[in-house]
Structure 1
């Protein structure tokens, strides 16, 4: 699948190993036997942070709520694309931009090319750590402890599990968001931090 981005397209070459990027667990599948391989340095799960960020009253509080809503929309679009195998480029562009869009489009493409679909869902626990409304465009940062214990990759042809044994059930993620000219927030960077546990 090729996802369009403006006048050009996002294309990802076939890789010998599939990064289970949406679960962001860095599991890989061998192209030869379709057997999962062990992930690199799995993290031990720990207690996730609170599920919502505390919003202050006034404009800063509204910005915090809007950033959290944008992150929820991004997560829902990702889950829909990976569980159905279908992605609407316009919808993805409505929730993601920059490296977050490129990474998400690439993950969806690689999953399709490998014949993988996802079952279940991710559970997020985002916290807005900063909102900068003094610069233009406005920017925000978030952290998340994503629970992927019920988010499973399977080979659609056989139904066999495509996630490596030992894959961690939770993953710490650094997230950035940017506000578009019309006022809508979009996720601009989504970076797992495997040096930290949550």
Structure 2
């Protein structure tokens, strides 16, 4: 809004309708430096912000891989699992994909994610960040791979997911991720 008003004022002042106006006097430019607040050229790293960003990137990456694999109903062509997941999260993901494959199902669409960092433990070895998300699966539904018919679900489309990420081998990985089936959001 301020930008819009500023531009409007400039246009009115630059009008050529009044050519008899007195010239505007501007002060001469000074070559003497004036005291200003120094602008930092680089900022110190913020480990907390970096950890949050890295953990959330791993979590979102896990979901990107999940959408790809669930959409295909298999792990074929999904090469970047270990880039985002490890431990229980990776094992659970593989079990879920095997379930969809065995039952001739795929999952169509994409979930809506709103992950929030809950806790940070940067002093631990390894560092750990927990994430809570309200995953909306109303546009991410399992269907029969052959017929396209929707599969039976519990009818709830918003579930709480709790995830644990850890800084392992120089990167943030989701090590555990599970829906809390007792909670909706």
Q: TM-score, normalised by structure 1?
A: 0.67
In the alignment, which of 192, 195, 198 is matched to residue 179 of structure 2? Answer: 192
CA RMSD of aligned residues (A): 1.5
1:71-123, CA deviations, whole angstroms, 9 ceiling, x for partnerless residues?
01000000000112342564112211111111100000110111101111111
Q: Counterpart of 1:65?
A: 53
Whole-angstrom distance in 1 between the partners of 2:159 and 2:184? 7
1:160 to 2:166 alignment:
no
Distance, in Å, in 1 between the alignment partners of 2:56 and 2:68 is: 18
For 1:103, what is the secondary structure of its paired residue? helix
What CA distance in whole angstroms lies between the structure 2 residues aligned with 1:197 and 1:117?
A: 23
In 1, Cα distance between the equivalents of 2:88 and 2:112?
22
Q: Which has the higher helix share?
A: 2
Note the residue ranges of structure 2 that are not aligned, 5 or more in a row.
1-44
Q: Please say if residues 153 and 162 of structure 1, whose CA atoms lie closer than 8 Å, have aligned partners that are also in contact.
A: yes
Which of structure 1's runs of 4+ aligned residues deviate more than 6 A?
none
- Mapped contact 2:68–2:78 kept (Cα < 8 A): no
SS in 2 for 1:167: coil
| Gap regions ≥5 residues in structure 1 | 1-56
Residues paired across the two proteins, number: 140
